[in-house]
Amino acid sequence: MMTPKETVEALDRYIVGQDGAKRAVAIALRNRYRRSRLPKELREEITPKNIIMMGPTGVGKTEIARRLAKLVDAPLCKVEATKFTEVGYVGRDVDSMIRDLVEASIRLCKDRKHAQVRLVAEANAEQRLVDILVPIRKQQQPNMNPLQLLLGAGQQQAEPEMSEGEKQAHFTKRQEVLAELRTGRLENEMIEVEVEQSNPGSDTMIAMGIDININEMMGGIIPPRKKRRKVKVSEARRILIQEESDKLIDMDEVIREAVDKAEQDGVIFIDEIDKIAGAQHTSGADVSREGVQRDILPIVEGCTVNTKYGPVKTDFILFIAAGAFHVSKVSDLIPELQGRFPILVKLDALRVEDYKAILTQPEHAITKQYAALLETDDIHLSFTDGAIDALAHYAYQANETGENIGARRLHTIVENLLEDISFNAGGDHPIVEIVIDEGYVKDHLSKEYSGEDLSKFIL
């Protein structure tokens, strides 16, 4: 388990600045580990200290929660508070966030179990591919009594007894096919496999958050429908590995682990919480904002929610709420909800220096992403320090002049900057070296450079 300092260092690889928010979530994460080492009686009394992040859009609130969950391999569910204010089939009940969290936990636990049985599943899938390419010949059973025949044991088409030479040739052929499969020579060959046919639910049910599986309701009485598909060996291998992995894991154990992981390690990120702040009652197709807060309150306080995997307690789930709070204030939330979010962290608006760092420092910085994309078309793209300074200046000015959308503004500006290069790239040509300097940025982002007209970059 990482210390708070190590957690902040890991977050620094992807997020620029916002040290206060990083420290708060790092401490909350470490407190979970500390709680897990306490005696059971005391452990049950300690609940997570939920966090509210307050700051303008595009400064890293969502990214902090997302990266945090990845660092500790914890189930994460992101919801928007405004979804609970909508009326009709597009709206959702607050319990759905817990159901989504359990589904995320199921996926995590299932993937981990699959990784444990990966080698065995790959070997089994390989044998099934050999059986498809070189079928095993079915032979007549010598000691078959009338009762076996009556029960259908002999209904399969039997083939004549093979000679020793035929057996050896058949075995050799299977070994040759197995060797070719392992060397990858047959990956593009077309074969026919039998796969289970899924029954997707209706769009209306999905929009309402209803997840109904008819076969589960019938207790598995109806056998799964199967269909035959012609696919490449590479795709068949993926399908068969998935099927074999599912056979090797115990889903009951996965569900037990997943529910426990959701209860003890789950993180729910509630975005746009400022949009439900205030006691105003809106008219039209929205419900009371205060009513939504009161619906969320028992979930955050701690209750038991029924899911299709069983009851789930929310007492020890970590809730991280975020909002810009431009119009409303944190104090506009109902007092009971404020009390369940004792930690308030303010995130700073981005400065020119922050934009420079965002363009270059993170592990997957924007400039590195575009360079990698164009590398596939044999274009080696690089940026000078002057170009980075100019891009950061344009982003800052555009956010100050128009709506402040934070770091997301950089995507708009860099996309416009590289529009001509991206359009003309492609085709068969040698590697081209392109260096973006300050002059190139000024020429393409402000062709009428007198007055710095940035209106085209304001969404």
Is pLDDT of 259 > 90? yes
Average pLDDT of the chain, as a whole number: 80
The whole-number pLDDT of residue 135 equals 80
| Confidence category of residue 311, pLDDT binned at 50, 70, 90 | very high
The whole-number pLDDT of residue 218 equals 53
Strand order in the sheet with 76-80: 76-80, 267-271, 318-323, 51-54, 343-346
The whole-number pLDDT of residue 102 equals 94
| Confidence category of residue 446, pLDDT binned at 50, 70, 90 | low
| Confidence category of residue 92, pLDDT binned at 50, 70, 90 | low
∠ Cα 77 82 88 (to 5°):
105
Query: Does residue 346 sit in helix, strand or coil?
Result: strand
Is pLDDT of 106 > 90? yes
Instruction: State how far Cα 343 lies from the chain centre.
Output: 27
Write the CA distances from 421 to 48, 68, 366, 371, 379, integer angstroms: 50, 36, 16, 11, 9
CA 268/CA 102 separation, integer angstroms:
11
CA 395/CA 58 separation, integer angstroms:
12
Is pLDDT of 413 > 50? yes
Burial of 313 (0-12, 13-18, 19+ CB in 10 A): middle
Is pLDDT of 409 > 90? no
| Confidence category of residue 109, pLDDT binned at 50, 70, 90 | very high
Is pLDDT of 305 > 60? yes
**pLDDT tens-digit readout, 157-173:** 555 666 777 778 878 88
Query: Does residue 406 sit in helix, strand or coil?
Result: coil
Mean pLDDT score, 90-108:
85
The whole-number pLDDT of residue 312 equals 92
CA nearest neighbour of 48 among 225, 266, 251 = 266
Contact by Cβ (8 Å): 281, 288: yes
CA 395/CA 416 separation, integer angstroms:
12
Mean pLDDT score, 12-17:
85
Mean pLDDT score, 264-288:
72
The whole-number pLDDT of residue 157 equals 53
CA 142/CA 430 separation, integer angstroms:
69
**pLDDT tens-digit readout, 137-193:** 555 445 555 545 445 544 555 556 667 777 788 788 888 888 888 888 888 888 888
| Confidence category of residue 1, pLDDT binned at 50, 70, 90 | confident
User: Which range has the worst mean pLDDT, 98-112, 185-199, 205-219, 231-245?
Assistant: 205-219
**pLDDT tens-digit readout, 74-89:** 888 888 888 877 654 4
Query: Does residue 231 sit in helix, strand or coil?
Result: strand
Is pLDDT of 287 > 60? no
CA 351/CA 56 separation, integer angstroms:
13
